[in-house]
Amino acid sequence: MPGFRDHSLYKGHQVFLYKRAQIFVADLWGAFKGQNYGEFHDINSITIFADYIVPAVLRELGILKYGSNLSCSIDSNSEIVPGSEEEVEIRACSIYAVEKMRDLIGKKFGKQVGTSEPVSPDTFISHANAPAFSVGQMVFYLQIDIH
């Protein structure tokens, strides 16, 4: 399906991120509570959904750092062209960073994060009682969900 074809050409290589496909699977899993149509034995293999919020949060937390040109573009609200090298790098690095965070949290606390359910932005950013911070005019709430 064309809407699920989330791929770009990056330095001569096809890069597949499949954000919408992963959201679809996570939504099925959630709607059916992991049963029937929502039963996926590998649901924990879904990565963070690489959207625009996750990189903004990771940057604000100091987890992602951009070069000066990219930082200036983002800070001046310039569009990052979909499929551009910058956009692919931001999305891929966001996925990598969250996977590393998940691994480190698991090692520190002896528990796996996101092993029984999909890792979504809401797993890390949610709930009004969690610590809050803002990026521009948007306020985000941080919650790390450890199972």
**What confidence tens digit (pLDDT) does each residue in 103-136 have?**
887 787 776 655 555 554 444 443 334 445 444 5
39 within domain boundaries: yes
For 31-90, the DSSP string reads: HTTTSGGG--TTGGG------SHHHHHHHHTTSS---HHHHHHHHTT----TTSHHHHHH
Residue 45 lies in a domain: yes
Average pLDDT over the chain, rounded to an integer: 77
CA distance linking residue 41 with residue 4, whole number of Å:
21
Average pLDDT over residues 2-30: 85
- 8 Å CB contact between 94 and 121: no
Going by C-alpha positions, the residue among 10, 28, 25, 1 that lies closest to residue 82 is: 10
Average pLDDT over residues 43-51: 82
Q: What is the mean pLDDT of residues 92-113?
A: 80
CA distance 47 to 98: 8
147 lies in some domain: no
What percent of the chain has pLDDT above 70? 73
Residue 46: per-residue pLDDT: 84
Which residues does 98 contact at the CB level (< 8 Å), separation at least 6?
47, 48, 54, 58, 119, 124
User: Active-site positions?
Assistant: 51
pTM of the model: 0.71
Predicted confidence at residue 43, as pLDDT, reads 86
pLDDT score recorded for residue 1: 64
Please report whether residue 34 resides in a domain. Answer: yes
The range of the structural domain enclosing residue 34 comes to 2-141
- Axis-axis angle for helices 85-109, 68-75 (nearest 10): 100
Query: Strand, coil or helix: what is 122?
Result: helix
Distance between alpha carbon 65 and the CA centroid of its chain, in Å? 16
Domains identified in the chain, total number = 1
Is 146 domain-assigned?
A: no
